[in-house]
Amino acid sequence: MRRDFAKSIFERLIREQILQFDDSILAIAGGEAEKELFASFGFKNVTISNLDDRLIGDEFVPYTWSRQDAQSLSFGDNDFDYSFVSDGLHHCSSPHRALLEMYRVARKGLIVIESRDSY
C-alpha cells in the first residue's frame, strides 16, 4: 500500500465528514499496512481480510481478521459501512467480481486504491 497516498485519502474523507471513526470497515486483501493505517486514525470497527493460511486471527488486534476470498465474500449484504482495498484487486482472477462483492457488503460505499496499470 502506498501509505502516504492512502493516508491523504483518509484524511480528506475524515475532514469532509464522510468517514466516522466508528464506521464498520472491511479491508480486503489487507495486512499490517492496513492495520497501521486504521490504527493511526483511531478507527474502532475494522475487519481485515485476506487469504493467508498462516494467520491464526490475532495478528491484527485490536481489529478482527477473517479469511476471505474477495471474489466470494461470506458476509451478508450491507454488513459493513465501507469496503476498502488498496493495491489488492489486481491479484484477483476477476477484479470486477471482487469489486461487486465489496459493493454488496457495503452500506455506504467503497474506498479503492489501485495503482497497478495493466491489461
Q: What is the pLDDT of residues 38-85, one digit of tens each?
A: 999 999 999 999 998 898 878 999 999 999 999 999 999 999 999 999
Tens of pLDDT, residues 89-103? 888 899 999 999 999
Q: What is the pLDDT of residue 17?
A: 96
With cut-offs at 50, 70 and 90, classify the pLDDT of residue 115: confident
Q: What is the pLDDT of residue 117?
A: 57
What is the greatest pairwise CA distance in the chain? Answer: 38
CA-wise closest residue to 80 among 54, 56, 104: 104
**Burial state string for 88-112 with b = 16 or more CB within 10 A and e = fewer than 16:** bbeebeebeebbebbeebbeebebb
